[in-house]
Amino acid sequence: MTTVLRRRVLSLVAVLALAGGLFGAHPATSHAGSPAVDMNVTLSVYTCCGSLQGFNSSASGNVFSIYNIFHSRLAQAFPNLKWRETLFNDQATLETRLTLAVNSGNPPDLVFIQGGYMGFSVLRKLAQPLDKYFAQYHVSDSYFLPAMAKWTHFGGHWWGIPAVSGPEAGQLVYLPKYMTPLGFNNSNLKTFSQLYQMSQKAVQFDKSGNLTRIGYWPVGSGAAGVFWQTVARGFCPAGHGIYNGQNQPTATDPCNVAAMAYLKQLTDLYGGYTKLSKFLTGDPTIWNGSPKDYQAIGKTLIPSESNSYWSITPFDSFNFGVTGGLQYQLTNLPPTVDGTMAEAANVPATQQAIIIPPGAKHPDAAFAVSKFICWDNGSLLGPSTNGSPVAGDQQKWLNGLVVGEAANRKANKLPGNPSATLDALKLQPQLARNSQAYLPINPVDVYYEDQLAKATARVLFGQQSASDALAQVQRLVVADQQRLRNQYGSWNW
């Protein structure tokens, strides 16, 4: 299970040309009292699922490549540092291999963690406390985006190194070409109700009753995708959702029932989940640049993958068979019940953290280089669309993002740079600092997400009501939480 799905790597060759220009424009920052560390080492790193990766890869087109973004700075700061990277396709496999490595006494030095695996990894003693490093470097919670600090600093310890922020998931990419004729734009695509009204106007069937067009569909891969960690939070006020303010599972919270019921309402509008699933399987998705992509040809007006600012990247990478490419727009806020900034604060930022396993051979060097990449130079991540976790770097990061999209369009022979004029992008620093929601740290989350996905499928297929399905999830998750407590001991998170 990948709680927060990072976007796919595209062939964005021009972005890499910025390494000597944009990447050299912002001096690195440092913290007083940073201790001397032996960096004449080879660091072993586990990467996964769209995290920062490519520590040894100079291949053009990999905009997440640590080598391409940071090589010159890393070579200057740590000339003798070498890397050994192991890439995994999913967090579950990474966690299994990490467990074996720790138990055999041969763990990696750094591990990228996403989604609900943070608390799970800490519980299973796959992460060591990092308090001494944060104290040595004089780093406090306020240095980071609020959601990033809460996700890595809990139970009285720093367990992770804030690595990458979203900074905000949930804004929607749409094409005015198809949306304007229906009478919708940024002024009335703010609430779930408005998105349903748009979908009512958009939905179409052929003479045989087969679905030929839909409006909004927020569910990604699998029955639930990342819906419960991101979109569904827009139905909830702060402190509510699948967890409460005390980090306890609350599947039966009325806002969750409302979110599930909304999905069922959309499903029924589209003729039922069987018919909808058949329709969706034909979509190449925006990340492939296909002229047959459903959003490009207007068969789906807002698909699940058009779920944040980073979803503008394919429209800056491909022309989708249209001369000059497709004009796009981005909603200012993620959809919520009332469409307000206050509610948007309950939508979690996308997050990645780095943990250092117990028994790591080079923990000092691992922390020092993680800090160098993600904090001191985190604003350089803009062109890759990965966000800096540092609160004060958001505008600098945004400037890099906009310049990166311009370079991308130029490389792909597309005119102009629409991202530079998007109000929604200009809001990113504020959204990032406002977001109070963080990814789960309760170790039951891995199991919880699986049960939510299964429950969502039952509801969408009409086998169970939203309230009954979520009540069943709550019973199972509370029981599994107790099982974990019995197996590993209590935790005070």
pLDDT tens track for 18-69? 433 443 433 344 444 456 899 999 999 999 987 888 999 888 777 778 998 9
In the structure encoding, which two tokens stand for residue 38, read together? 């032996």
- Per the listing, tokens 């490093």 go with 133
pLDDT band at 169 (very low <50, low <70, confident <90, very high): low
Question: Could you tell me the CA-to-CA distances from 471 to 140, 196, 254, 449, 465 in Å, in that order?
Answer: 39, 26, 11, 14, 10
Same-domain check for residues 163 and 305? no
**DSSP per-residue string spanning 128-155:** ---HHHHHHTT--GGGB-HHHHHHHEET
What domain range includes position 183?
173-344
pLDDT for 35: 66
**Looking at the domain assignment, is residue 468 inside a domain?**
no
Residue 404 lies inside a defined structural domain of this protein:
yes
Whether residues 239 and 195 share a domain: the answer is yes
The pLDDT tens digits for 190-203 are 999 999 999 999 99
Model confidence band, residue 10 (pLDDT cutoffs 50, 70, 90) = very low
Instruction: Tell me the whole-structure pTM to 2 decimals.
Output: 0.90
pLDDT, tens digit (0-9, with 9 covering 90-100), for 232-267? 999 999 889 999 989 999 999 999 999 999 999 999
218 and 337: one domain? yes
Percent of the chain predicted with pLDDT > 90: 75
Sorted by sequence, the CB contacts under 8 Å of residue 413 that are 6+ apart come out as 319
Tell me how far apart the alpha carbons of residues 375 and 265 are, in angstroms, rounded to a whole number.
43
Please give the tally of structural domains in the chain.
2
Q: Is the pLDDT of residue 319 over 80?
A: yes
- For residue 30, the model assigns a pLDDT of 47
Per the model's pLDDT, the better-predicted residue between 334 and 351 turns out to be: 334
pLDDT of residue 344: 86
Q: Does any domain span residue 217?
A: yes
Rounded to 5 degrees, what are φ and ψ at 349?
Answer: -75, 150
158 and 125 housed in the same domain: yes
Residue 188 has pLDDT above 80, yes or no: yes
19: region left, alpha or beta (phi > 0 left; psi from -120 to 50 alpha): alpha
User: Are residues 205 and 305 both part of a single domain?
Assistant: yes
Residues with Cβ within 8 Å of 489's Cβ and at least 6 positions away in sequence, in order, are none
- Grouping H, G, I as helix, E, B as strand and the rest as coil, residue 47 is strand
How crowded is residue 160: how many other Cβ atoms within 10 Å of its Cβ?
27
- Rounded Cα–Cα distance for residues 284 and 48 (Å): 23
State the residue for tokens 């979690």: 348
Tell whether 221 and 138 lie within a shared domain: no
**Of 344, 365, 388, at which residue does a domain stop?**
344
> Would residue 121 count as lying in a domain?
yes
Tell me the percentage of the chain whose pLDDT exceeds 70.
90
CATH number of the structural domain spanning residue 101: 3.40.190.10
Residues 92 and 230 in one domain: no
**Final residue of a domain: which of 309, 344, 379?**
344
Q: What is the pLDDT of residue 225?
A: 63
Last residue of a domain, one of 307, 325, 344: 344
Buried b (16+ CB within 10 A) or exposed e, 174-210: bbeebbeeeebebeebbbbebbebbbeebbeeeeeee
Q: Residues 160, 207: one domain?
A: no
434, part of any domain = no
Measured between alpha carbons, how far is 192 from 181 in angstroms, rounded to an integer?
20
